[in-house]
Amino acid sequence: MNIGVELGIKPFERIGRGVVLKRYGKQFYAKTSRSLQEPARAKQEMIDLLDPERGTVSLAFLKSLGASFVPNLVSAFLGSCPRVQFQLIQNATSAMLDQLEADDIDFCLSTVTETRASIEWQPLWTEDIFAFVPSGTSSGIAVAYRSKSLRQSSDRF
């Protein structure tokens, strides 16, 4: 591509073995030099994103974990790796699994409501779940009786 011929201008002047940009050459250079630097900038951004000391971690989580668990987790992590950045996403489990499969996030925190062959999961903790029933009423007695069934059922899990 010869921009001078194509546009009918003289963008530079040859002086010995060198060249000197003319008015239109300077304008063309100013516009194109930024675009020529973009591949190098993009490469450096990718290197920075992948650097474990200063990259970006994309974490998806259930809304219920956003009140205290995720802020405490991120804060503790940043204590040891202060230059790391986080991209935080609240979502439902199925949407998070879709994001993992699409490589849109690095990992997620969720309950195991479904599994997929392409995704590995590790349990982090278990929690007790309680059934509360009103006391002192006949309806409370019926619910308490059913809660005994609930308790027996939960032992199977």
Give the start-to-end residue ranges of the domains of the chain.
3-49, 51-109, 128-157
Using 50, 70 and 90 to split pLDDT, how confident is the model at 49? confident
Residue 32 pLDDT: 84
**Helices and strands in the chain: count of H runs, count of E runs:** 5, 5
Residue 142 pLDDT: 59
pLDDT exceeds 90 at position 90: yes
- The structure's pTM equals 0.59
Indicate the fold that domain 51-109 takes in CATH.
D-Maltodextrin-Binding Protein; domain 2 (3.40.190)
Percent of the chain with pLDDT over 90: 37
d(CA 131, CA 146): 10
Q: Which residues contact 84 (CB under 8 A, 6 or more apart)?
A: 52, 53, 54, 55, 56, 57, 77, 78
Residue 153 pLDDT: 53
